[in-house]
Amino acid sequence: MRILLFTLFLTLITISFGQTVDLDSIDNNYIRILAIQNWDEVVHISAEDESTEGGEINYYYNENKLEKISVDYFGEMGKSSKEFYLMNGKLSFVYEINHTYNLPIYLDSITAAEHGETAFFDSKKSKNTVKSTYIANGILLEQIPAIAFDSKIRKAEANRLMADFEKLLIKLESK
């Protein structure tokens, strides 16, 4: 039964990409994109309406193809960064970093002292979480750190990332 399910899974991936997609090919594509130093075009869009402290979206093109989208959202209690990588025009990899600040960014040492507080914003006390997600045809292949192999959880995570990605594409088209 497991062999049958795995074969079906590979068939779906093969149909959607025209070839079998494995983690190595996604990794190689990610490394290729990271090595690009001179982008043909970078489109910048403000994301002021997306978070309390604003943000920015960048769309990276190489040889007239969208290769990468980077997003930074800023808030008083943290920062969220996501990078979406495309392979053959489809989402293949997402790298996320979430920084959770110890206190609001506006509570610096001077402001804290003025209000009789001893604690203040300290970037060294921020908590960071990093997630790397491999996706093919909207299906979550792997996530690091690993998530439960529960199909509902994996599907929900894939849907979240695909919805974020689609929203960014729509934002680009409406520019």
The dihedral over CA atoms of 12, 14, 16, 17, expressed in degrees to the nearest 10, equals: 160
More confident residue, 164 or 6: 164
The structure tokens listed for 64 are: 């007239």
Q: What is the pLDDT of residue 108?
A: 84
**Helices H, strands E: what count in the chain?**
4, 7
Angle of CA points 46, 52, 58, to nearest 5°: 25
Q: What is the pLDDT of residue 20?
A: 59
Question: Under a CB-based contact definition with an 8 Å cutoff, are residues 128 and 97 in contact?
Answer: yes
The structure tokens listed for 4 are: 């049958």
pLDDT tier for residue 89 given thresholds of 50, 70 and 90:
very high
Model confidence pLDDT, tens digit, residues 6-29: 333 444 444 444 445 789 999 999
What value does the mean pLDDT take over residues 117-137? Answer: 91
Give me the phi and psi of 54, to 5 degrees please.
Answer: 90, -170
The structure tokens listed for 143 are: 């996530």
Residues 161, 133: Cα–Cα separation, whole Å: 9
Residues 110, 130: Cα–Cα separation, whole Å: 31
The pTM of this model reads 0.81
Residues 78, 83: Cα–Cα separation, whole Å: 17
> Which letter does DSSP use for residue 135 in this model?
E
> Which letter does DSSP use for residue 50 in this model?
G
**Residues with Cβ within 8 Å of residue 145, at least 6 apart in sequence:** 131
What value does the mean pLDDT take over residues 79-97? Answer: 96
DSSP code per residue over 59-116: EEEETTEEEEEEEEEEETTEEEEEEEEEETTEEEEEEEEEEE-SS-TT--HHHHHHTT
